[in-house]
Structure formats: structure tokens, C-alpha cells
Amino acid sequence: MDRRAAARLALAALGFRVLSAFIAFLCNVVFPLDRAVQMHVFNTPSPFWDTFARYDTGYFEGIAWSGYAPLEGGRSNIAYFPVYPMLMRWLGQLFVRRHSTFYISGIAVSWMCFVGAMVALYYLARLDLPRRRAERAVLLTAIFPFGFFFGVAYSESTFLLFTILAFYFFRRESYIAGGICGAIATATRVPGIFMVPALAWIAFANLRARPLTPGSEVAVRGRALAGVGLAASGFVAYCAYIYSLTGNPFEWAATLERWGYYPGGAPWLAPFRLVASLLTHPYAYLAGDRMAPYDMLYGVTGIAFVLAIPFVWRRFGAGYGLFMLANLWLPLSSGVFEGVGRYCSVLFPFFIWAADVKSRTISTAIVVVFALFYTLGLALFTTIHPLF
């Protein structure tokens, strides 16, 4: 029965991507763009295809096309980890070498990984939830207000797929397979390395929960340790490559700082400022500051996820809680909200927890709110508003 449900979810996920692409096309045709188009998939503008190529897409396509460059007009593409652009390259090289081919390959990779991630999420959620609620977790992930990033030429869907697989295999005590998937995830996005403590905790909890015979203890512990090490190896390998290229293994972090991101500060300062503004002068704040509506969308989302951490921790264990905590600390400690929606979109434990809500009224309300703001977010991103 689970296989039938998985097949049904795969078709539904693909259909959802098609529907979202059609809505994005309508938005691009009907609404004025907030700023000039930065790139075109083809040599001439395309109201349909160009909706998939916004902001960071240009960096990914540049890496797929010609590799990494230490500096590119003052901005380095080293901040973007390699798995997703390499998949773009490998798929694109099967066809005619053109920029448009690489862009479309990036879209195809995102769509395929999204479908795979939805199926993998279902199986992961089934470890804790009945079938209907596991399906609801998939639905909430797909229609999350910033879930539109899963369908464009960005790395989110690739990261989500291999992150979910890493956790699934660790939960099932298949540590080597989990470590391999974790390595791919940690080489896909900067926050990937923050899954390693969570995976280590899950392995530790597994070992404590299952009594081992003296003969098997060393082997099982060895596989668990190897799996955790493998998961970190993707990140380490990229740092080693960047060291060979620039002499600084953390040049990707230096690049982020040159762009104005300084992680490591107090993660509560920006949320407190946002809450104070919304409580004391909401209209003046939202109407008077051009970035305020976008910061509000990102900030309120980040705060909601932070508030959910204790509930996730209590219901599903420290592994899921640590994963959310570490991945929220990184963007919030930078003092800016830019990108928080994308960071939250891959925090699958939140969606599994939200799907476990017992009240039908609250569950329906969550779906309605998610769907409304998903459409808004998709329209804003498509028309090149500052949702990054």
C-alpha cells in the first residue's frame, strides 16, 4: 500500500510543479516586474522559461558552464556549493552545449529532486505517523510559502532530497547509505554541515536503544561512526577544493561576509527588532520601509519555526530538534532575514510535526494559510521582488 501511496505522491508532486509553473507564467505576463530581468534562459526573453531563472540561478549556471572563479566582478561564486551546479553540468552535457541547455537542465534537476524528496519524505514521516498524516506532511512541504524555490533553478530541492534520505537511512540504521546521502547534502549547501550533529545523535540514540551482542557491538559502532564521518566528508571535500583554488579553505565564508552576511551574532536581536516594530507601529513600518514586507514574511516564518523547536524536540527527539536549531541559528545570527524562508523550506521536521496536529480545524487552517502565502511568494519571486 505504501508503494501505491508513493507513486500517487510522485505524480501529484509533478502535477503540482506543472501547476506552479503555469501560475508563475501568468504572473510574469500580468504583473509588472519589480526590477529589470537579470538573465534569460534563451537569447531572447521568454515569459515562461525566464520565471525559473532568477537571482542565484545565474551563479549556478555559471559554475555549471565554466566552473569556479575566485572573483567575478567583485562577487565570487565560491559561496555556492558544487553538487547542484555539477548535476546541471552533467545533465546539460548530454545535449548541445548552450547556456539555455544548462538552465533547462537545472530546472529538470530541481523537479526530479523535488519529486524524489516528496516520496522520501513520505517514507520518513511514516516512521512516526500514520499514512494520512505522512501524506499531509508532504502536502505542507510542497505548499509551504517559500516552497516555490523547489521548482526553480535553485539547489533547495536537491538539498532536501539528500537530507531526508540521510535521516531516513540513519533512522533505519543503514549508516553507510545515510553517510553517502549526507555527504551529497553537505556538499550542496552551506547549512548542510549542521545536519552532522543531528545524525550523530540519532546514531547514538539507536545504539542506546538496541542491545548489542559483544560480537556485533564493535561493527555496529564502527558503521555508525563511519556514517557520521561520511556525512561530513562532502563539506570537508569542498573546503579542500577551495583551499587548492584560493589558499583559504573557508573562502566561501569570506565571500558571504563580503556580501554582508556575518553569522555568529546574537540570533535573537533581529527577531526582537521585528516584533517590536510590528507591535508598536506596524502600519508605519510596513508602509514606510521598502524591505519591511519581505523582512516580515521571512522574519515571522523564522520566529514560527524557532517556537516550534521544543515541540518538535519533544515529539520526535533531539535529532530533529538539533537539526532545526542549528539550521535556524545560522541565518538568524547574521542579523538579517534575507534567505530565512529558503532555510526554513528544507526543515522537514517542522512539516512532519505540523502534519501531526490532531485538530481538523487547525490542520485545515494551516493548509489554507500556506497555500495563500505560497501563491503570494511565487508571484513576488516571479516578478523579481527581493525574495532571495
d(CA 303, CA 362): 19
Residues 27 and 143 both lie in one domain: yes
Residue 114 lies in a domain: yes
**pLDDT beyond 90 at 21:** yes
Provide mean pLDDT across the span 89-104. 93
Residues 107 and 174 both lie in one domain: no
- Enumerate the β-bridge partners of residue 72: 75
DSSP of 153-177, one letter per residue? SSSHHHHHHHHHHHHHHHHTT-HHH
pLDDT at res. 132: 94
The pLDDT > 90 percentage for the chain reads 81
**pLDDT beyond 90 at 75:** no
Cell, residue 174: 543503514
Residues 8 and 144 both lie in one domain: yes
Residues 112 and 31 both lie in one domain: yes
Domain boundary among 154, 188, 220: 154
Provide mean pLDDT across the span 329-334. 91
Residue 36 lies in a domain: yes
Residues 200 and 347 both lie in one domain: no
Using 50, 70 and 90 to split pLDDT, how confident is the model at 81? Answer: very high
Residue 387 lies in a domain: no
* φ and ψ at residue 127, rounded to 5 degrees: -70, -20
Residue 382 lies in a domain: no
Residues 66 and 142 both lie in one domain: yes
Residues 282 and 136 both lie in one domain: no
Residue 370 lies in a domain: no
Tell the residue number behind the cell numbers 504572473, with chain if given.
27
pLDDT at res. 257: 84
Closest to 23 in 3D by CA, of 56, 45, 47, 39: 47
pLDDT at res. 91: 96
Residues 27 and 72 both lie in one domain: yes
Residues 44 and 186 both lie in one domain: no
Residue 97 lies in a domain: yes
**pLDDT beyond 70 at 213:** no
Q: Mean pLDDT across the chain, nearest whole number?
A: 93
Provide mean pLDDT across the span 9-31. 97
**Each residue of 232-242: pLDDT tens digit?**
999 999 999 99
Identify the domain containing residue 122 by its residue range.
1-154
pLDDT at res. 214: 64
Angle between helices 318-332 and 196-209 (to 10 degrees): 170
Residues 85 and 218 both lie in one domain: no
Residues 20 and 119 both lie in one domain: yes
Q: What is this structure's pTM?
A: 0.95
Residues 35 and 141 both lie in one domain: yes
**pLDDT beyond 90 at 70:** no
Domain boundary among 101, 136, 154: 154
pLDDT at res. 212: 63
Residue 378 lies in a domain: no
Give alpha helix (H) positions in the chain: 2-30, 57-66, 83-92, 99-125, 131-142, 156-171, 175-186, 196-209, 214-246, 251-258, 269-280, 282-288, 292-316, 318-332, 340-345, 348-355, 360-382
Q: How many domains does the chain have?
A: 3
**Each residue of 151-173: pLDDT tens digit?**
999 999 999 999 999 999 999 99
The secondary structure of 182-216, three-state, reads HHHHHCCCHHHHHHHHHHHHHHHHHHHHCCCCHHH
Residue 183 lies in a domain: yes
Q: Which of 100-109, 255-264, 275-284 has the lowest mean pLDDT?
A: 255-264
pLDDT at res. 74: 55
Provide mean pLDDT across the span 244-261. 87
Domain boundary among 196, 228, 250: 250
Provide mean pLDDT across the span 320-343. 93
Q: Is 249 helix (H, G, I), strand (E, B) or coil?
A: coil
